[in-house]
Amino acid sequence: MKLVDLLKPAANLKVVITGGAAGIGAVIAKAFHEIEAQVYICDIDAGAIERMKLDHPGMHGAVADVGIKQHVDRLMEEAISTLGGLDVLVNNAGIAGPTGNIEDLEAEEWENTVSTNLNSQYYVLRKAIPFLKQSKQNPHIIAMSSVAGRLGYPFRTPYASTKWAIIGLMKSLAGELGPDNIRVNAILPGVVAGERMNRVIDARAQTLGIEFEAMRDQYLEKISLRRMVTMEDIAAMALFLSSQAAANISGQAISVDGNVEYL
């Protein structure tokens, strides 16, 4: 086999992507669909799921709030039945959570962020792993963390706490599942261009009492390459990690961020 062929993910991969109808998740779903994988997505937005399925014939999906165990149980049962197995899990669903001083945050905001960003990963994993153990197609788990999973993030403590926890979960599972030939890695997106990042910048600007453009400039000054990354950058890493070229990459927290130096 030529080395270049190792970069191609296996044919007919069975892939489940949470939060797969919008943002980074949708771009990852489209990327796997382009390589003719069987893709099953979930999201809380029924309309977004229907648009994804309409625009990408053959893609499957269902509405689910991954922070609710019963929703995930139903989702995974439907996904595995539809796909006939599982080769790649992209645990992507997450929310930005609140912005503010920790003493001003509501307990419900904290709990919702933890439920959606962290508990959801466990709910999906417990149902997915038995089927990944049966896969012969280079089985792999991608846990979506963040650059805030390796750096402190003032005024975004609920979000950062969950993203650090995801790294610990990934590192532990890489050791636990390695003997079963299941690889586990985390992708840590940096400042990703798009509407979600604009909302994050705006919320922090309001917290600090400065203009949006000044806040945006501050974010860019913290990046060595002085530019945001794209959702396509994240999707490309997901495809690479699911290829044979990454067959011996496991337990890694891989930043795709232009080298964010601090937050």
Residue 251 CB-density burial (10 A; 0-12 exposed, 13-18 middle, 19+ buried)? middle
Dist. CA 86–CA 229, nearest whole Å: 29
DSSP string computed for 204-223: HHHHHT--HHHHHHHHHHTB
| 159 has catalytic annotation | yes
Nearest to 41 by CA among 10, 66, 62: 62
Paired with 41 in beta bridges are 17, 61
Write down the residue that tokens 């089927």 correspond to: 131
Dist. CA 155–CA 183, nearest whole Å: 33
Dist. CA 119–CA 110, nearest whole Å: 12
CA distances from 57 to 27, 38, 39, 112 (A): 15, 11, 11, 33
Q: In what order do the strands lie in the sheet with 183-189?
A: 60-63, 38-43, 14-17, 88-91, 140-144, 183-189, 253-256
Selecting among 40, 123, 153, 159, the annotated active-site residue is 159
Catalytic residues, by residue number, are 159
